[in-house]
Structure 1
Amino acid sequence: MVPRNDHLWIGLAVSFFLSFVSYALFLQLGEWFTASAGRAISFRPRTLALIAICLNILPMNVFRRTYRTKSLKGLVIGVMIMAAVWFFYFGRELLEG
């Protein structure tokens, strides 16, 4: 049985939406920690962005279990694009040491 709503663009949309929203929530969470602690608590943006990208494992598992292979391919393509952008943006900082 072929599942409904199994399209490549759905996987792309889920990957970008989940990553951007989770990154924004992580930034907001850092501000809440700073306000509640009464002192500056900062998280590195590169770490928050990497965690936001890695959160795509959750919908990846859902797509795999429900046999949505086209959506899974779109999700993987979106994750690879974001990982390449992350490495391009933060790679020099990591490699310079």
Structure 2
Amino acid sequence: MKWADYGISAVKYNSTDTHIEKVRVHLDNGDTLEPASEWLRTDVISALEKGKTFVTIIEDAGKWAKGQKVHIIPVDNAEYIRTDTNNTASNNLDKLPKF
């Protein structure tokens, strides 16, 4: 079952751990997920603006589970990627592992 165009499995934050710099993205083929590639946060925002869909994905016992839908939330002239719709000036993708 296809969850979205892409799944996000991990995040890399900046040196102060406040903003996401990169994420690990997997193409969702419907029955399988492709191996991860690293995308900049700005690339995810660009894809979302073009109508692509993203969900967080969590690995559990060797299988992927669907997490939450990812949204762009604009706050104070900046765009953040979040799984909730709070207008908070930070990125929030559940509690995905860091890389």
TM-score (norm 1): 0.28
Return the structure number with greater helix share.
Answer: 1
Larger Rg: 1
Higher strand proportion (structure 1 or 2): 2
Answer 1 or 2: higher relative contact order, Cα 8 Å, separation at least 6: 1
